[in-house]
Structure 1
Amino acid sequence: MDNISMVTLVLLVINGLVTYQGLNDFNFFNKYCFSINQINRGEKYRFLTAGFLHVDWMHFIFNMMTLYFFADTIVSVVGVFYFLVIYLVSLLVGNVLTYQFYKHVPFYRAVGASGAIMGVLYASIMLNPDMVLGLYFIIPIPAYLFAVGYLLYSLYGLQKNNDSIGHSAHIGGALAGLLLIILKFPILVQLEYKLIAILLIPVIILVVMYKKNKIG
């Protein structure tokens, strides 16, 4: 971890500590998770705090590994402040989108940093379109295919809606990360318009699902 930036390390630690507390203290988890019922009662802080909780350690590990591998690509290009803007805005946009889908479902609850993580992933892919990942640490796959595939899986999870993971937040976070990095570097629209179109496929499918009343 010699090359990890301090901001990435701090986020890893905060997520770890909050998740640990949440998994070991039901009252803590219940107080800070994303809960439509409680948000409708005025507890708006949950839009932020839910993004640091996870349903289990596998959920946590997957998110934090993604953060570890992709965060510093952004930090090295745009600096700490704008990276935090991407992280936090993606987190909030993801949860606000979730609220819009489920605001009339009072008992809907979810947690996860995935909105922020998907924002980081999409932004880093735009900065390094040729990035390749090792699927299962073995099979090489373009990072953009992994990102789109993961969001398509999120759409499936969104339909099932049985695991307390905020799947809709994944889509909102990814879109926020994409837009924020384009706002920072508008030239990307000209240089990577095909990549942008591919990355937007899950967003388009989500809109269609919503219009067909397959969400909420």
Structure 2
Amino acid sequence: MIHTAIAGYIIIIINFLFSYKGFNDKVFYDKYKFKVDKILINKEYYRLISSSFLHIDWQHLCFNMLSLYFFFGLVEAQLGIPQFLILYFASMIGGDLLALFIHRNHGDYSAVGASGAVCGIIFASIALFPGIGIVLFFVVSIPAWLYGILYVAYAIYGIKSQRENIGHEAHLGGALIGMLTAIALYPSALKENYITILVISIPCIVFIYLIVTRPHFLLIDNYFFKSKTKYYSIDHKYNEQKKNKQEELDRLLDKIGKNGIGSLTKKEKQRLEELSGKK
């Protein structure tokens, strides 16, 4: 599919250049990634934007940019460059703000990736083009409205369960803001596609309202997370994971102290890099 829109291409190029720099410069990566305490304490608000142009690795980068490529042409052609950019950055910031709120007590929580902004573009296309279909895994095509409902359900489950190392909060926030911004920029879409828009947006709004007004709604029970205790909050889960990682790091360092770095297996060395923040 050939796009005549140019803003999306420029964003993709910036993502590749910025991410490539981050792959090869840890100082640069740490300076611009999303990190809670740097944003809330040091007031480095630029991280809400810069972190979305960084990625963990080439696979992460290419997946996000490929997803953006499939959708940005339609949306940009419909809205125009200025409004497309408003939509993209609004989705980006909206996703990061929801992640910041949910993880506000997790000082060392960090994240990178354009997923929130990309979700905003995808859900904007669902709002603007009711007849569009979405191909999953390059094989199966499903109606956009069904994809939207399933994705929102999956994101809410992901936030509630905290079982995966995926920024579901940014995805959900970006998707909702993307859809609402698209409607604000192109109001006729609501009249043409109001059923799909309501079915997708109302669960998002209700869920966000509940986690803002009733923090205990984020309690994680055994349905989501198996444990000896019956209920966990996201804070408890986060602190337990942090403790477990520190204990694992201590065990590896103790092994090095007794037998030297050569005593570690290849898998243990990779894990050491991950736990020490070098990867």
Scaled by the length of structure 2, the TM-score of the pair is: 0.70
Partner of 2:218: 213
Q: Which AA in structure 1 matches 2:144? A: A
Partner of 2:275: none
**Cα offset, 1:198, TM superposition:** 2.3
Tell me, yes or no, if structure 1 residue 9 matches structure 2 residue 9: yes
- Structure 2, unmatched stretches of 5+, are 220-233, 236-279
Specify whether residues 36 and 126 from structure 1 end up closer, same or farther in structure 2 by C-alpha distance, changes over 3 A only: same
Partner of 2:242: none
Partner of 1:36: 36
Specify whether residues 156 and 213 from structure 1 end up closer, same or farther in structure 2 by C-alpha distance, changes over 3 A only: closer
Structure 2 counterpart SS, 1:130: coil
Q: Which AA in structure 2 matches 1:122? A: F
Encode CA deviations 1:145-164: one digit per residue, 9 max, x unaligned: 2233334333344332652x
Q: Which moved more, 1:11-20 or 1:200-209?
A: 200-209
For 2:74 and 2:157, locate their aligned partners in 1 and report how far apart those are by CA, in whole Å.
Answer: 29
Specify whether residues 25 and 148 from structure 1 end up closer, same or farther in structure 2 by C-alpha distance, changes over 3 A only: farther
Structure 2 counterpart SS, 1:5: coil
For 2:162 and 2:83, locate their aligned partners in 1 and report how far apart those are by CA, in whole Å.
Answer: 35
For 1:170 and 1:117, locate their aligned partners in 2 and report how far apart those are by CA, in whole Å.
Answer: 8
Structure 1 counterpart SS, 2:171: helix
Contact 2:128 2:193 in 1 (8 A): no
Residue from 146, 162, 182 that aligns with 1:160:
162
Partner of 1:170: 171
Specify whether residues 107 and 70 from structure 1 end up closer, same or farther in structure 2 by C-alpha distance, changes over 3 A only: same
**Cα offset, 1:203, TM superposition:** 4.5
Partner of 1:107: 108
Contact 1:148 1:202 in 2 (8 A): no
Tell me, yes or no, if structure 1 residue 194 matches structure 2 residue 208: no
Structure 1 counterpart SS, 2:218: coil
Q: Which AA in structure 2 matches 1:3? A: H
Question: Within 5 Å, which residues of 2 pair with 1:1-216?
Answer: 2-39=2-39, 40-158=41-159, 159-160=161-162, 163=165, 165-200=166-201, 201-208=203-210, 211=214, 212-214=217-219, 215-216=234-235
- Highest CA radius of gyration, 1 or 2? 2
**Cα offset, 1:206, TM superposition:** 4.9
Specify whether residues 140 and 154 from structure 1 end up closer, same or farther in structure 2 by C-alpha distance, changes over 3 A only: same
For 1:154 and 1:53, locate their aligned partners in 2 and report how far apart those are by CA, in whole Å.
Answer: 21
Encode CA deviations 1:25-80: one digit per residue, 9 max, x unaligned: 22221111100111121211101101111222222222111210111111111100
Encode CA deviations 1:151-184: one digit per residue, 9 max, x unaligned: 4333344332652x43211111111111111112
Taking only the aligned residue pairs, the percentage that are identical comes to 35
For 1:71 and 1:16, locate their aligned partners in 2 and report how far apart those are by CA, in whole Å.
Answer: 16
Contact 2:79 2:186 in 1 (8 A): no
Encode CA deviations 1:9-35: one digit per residue, 9 max, x unaligned: 111111111112222222221111100
Structure 1 counterpart SS, 2:80: helix
Structure 2 counterpart SS, 1:54: coil
Contact 1:171 1:203 in 2 (8 A): no
Q: Indicate the structure whose relative CO is greater, using CA pairs within 8 Å and at least 6 residues apart.
A: 1
Q: Which AA in structure 1 matches 2:218? A: N
Residue-pair matches, total: 215
For 1:11 and 1:134, locate their aligned partners in 2 and report how far apart those are by CA, in whole Å.
Answer: 23
- Structure 1, unmatched stretches of 5+, are none
Structure 1 counterpart SS, 2:134: strand
Q: Which AA in structure 2 matches 1:55? A: I
Structure 1 counterpart SS, 2:45: coil
Specify whether residues 153 and 26 from structure 1 end up closer, same or farther in structure 2 by C-alpha distance, changes over 3 A only: farther
For 2:153 and 2:169, locate their aligned partners in 1 and report how far apart those are by CA, in whole Å.
Answer: 11
Encode CA deviations 1:74-131: one digit per residue, 9 max, x unaligned: 1111100000000011101111121111122111111111111111111111111111
Moved over 6 A (4+): none
